[in-house]
Amino acid sequence: MLRQIKPRNARSKRALDKKAPKAIENPKTALFLRGTSCSQITQDAMTDLYSLRLPLAKKFTKKNDIHPFEDTSSLEFFSEKNDASILLFGSSNKKRPHAITLVRTFMYKVLDMLELNLDPESFRTLNQFKNKKCAVGLKPMLLFSGTPFESPVPNEYTLAKNFFIDFFKGEPADKVDVEGLQYIVCISARDTVDGEEAKPKLHLRVYLIKTKRSGQRLPRVEVEEMGPRMDFRVGRVREADESTMKEAIKRARTTAERPKKNISTDVVGDKMGRIHLGKQDLKELQTRKMKGLKRSRDMVDENGGIDDGEDIVSEDEPVQKSKRA
């Protein structure tokens, strides 16, 4: 259960109301931090991710003695101090070189974490691609390629997919301008092989979208790699608590009309409804009452015969003749 803070004065009450949950949340801010030992490759990678996240990003260059998987108090402090729900922590050591830890928070408490180890050989920075770059603040198109992202059971790859969707989501928009779709972020992972201990790598590529004349109504679309180019190995994982995750994904009830169950509209526009009935007992079905259908007409008598309403005369008894007048 999350701790509830009671305001002491009107100023603190206004500050808490500003941070309180809303029906439509504010865009998430990403905070970039570095540890006491952080390689130059990790710093360059975080700088490129920071440039893609602008303007909803903050970057600190000071060294911080933080160990995310051992103590999360420092991360929670930075999250609340800067009102950031997404944190990227860069570190490097002999056991886990070039590590970038992805952290998500809920109510300024750590929700889940995923550690990704950057491959220094295949890494290319944003400046190493000498071509045009996209404008700042544009939302990219996202493409996740690979069966590991479609697993019905939550794992490292589904967690990475959720994080990158939150990271590149940006500000909410009701309408999309085609001119604003200038680049696409592709994240792929190959299929898992039975008997292989090493997990598949995550390949992050960013492509610039170009439209050229095709002689028709629709233009010809081409893509050109813009950078950065990153390959990650999946490291340590800390999954979210079930109760906290359930509370984090809860949505507020709005004034919009909720869809009614078992009611749909067909192609013509007619409203179709589905009714669920229980098991019917045909014996209790109400029918027309007729004299010939009475139960007493076909009841079995004590001798096993059928009483059809006629008098049965015994052979031993004498037949009485009717008197003639």
Residues 6+ apart with CB under 8 A from 313: 319
pLDDT of residue 237: 93
**57 phi and psi, to 5 degrees?**
-155, 150
Beta bridge partners of 273: 263
pLDDT tens for 274-320 read: 888 788 777 777 777 666 666 655 555 545 555 554 555 555 555 55
Structure tokens, 51? 């440039």
State how far the Cα of 142 lies from the Cα of 164, in Å rounded to an integer: 9
Cα atoms in the 13 Å half-sphere on the side-chain side of 87: 32
pLDDT of residue 264: 86
Q: Judge whether residue 171 has pLDDT over 70.
A: yes
pLDDT of residue 325: 46
- Beta carbons within 10 angstroms of residue 99's beta carbon: 24
pLDDT tens for 97-122 read: 999 999 999 988 999 999 999 999 99
CA angle 63, 66, 70 (to 5 degrees): 165
Q: Judge whether residue 7 has pLDDT over 90.
A: no
- Beta carbons within 10 angstroms of residue 282's beta carbon: 6
State how far the Cα of 15 lies from the Cα of 107, in Å rounded to an integer: 14
Of all residues in the chain, what percent carry a pLDDT higher than 70? 86
pLDDT tens for 29-46 read: 999 999 999 999 999 999
pLDDT of residue 196: 73
pLDDT of residue 323: 53
pLDDT tens for 263-276 read: 888 888 888 888 88
**245 phi and psi, to 5 degrees?**
-65, -35
Q: Which residue has the higher pLDDT, 262 or 185?
A: 185
CA nearest 35: which of 58, 61, 65, 72? 65
What does the pLDDT average to over 151-179? 88
pLDDT tens for 177-235 read: 888 888 999 999 988 777 676 788 999 999 999 888 888 888 888 999 998 999 999 99
Question: Given CA atoms 25, 26, 27, 29 in this order, what sign does their dihedral have?
Answer: negative
- pTM equals 0.73
Structure tokens, 116? 């990704």
pLDDT tens for 69-93 read: 999 999 999 998 998 999 999 999 9
- DSSP 8-state assignment for residue 120: T
pLDDT of residue 176: 82
CA angle 231, 53, 202 (to 5 degrees): 15
Q: Which residue has the higher pLDDT, 78 or 257?
A: 78
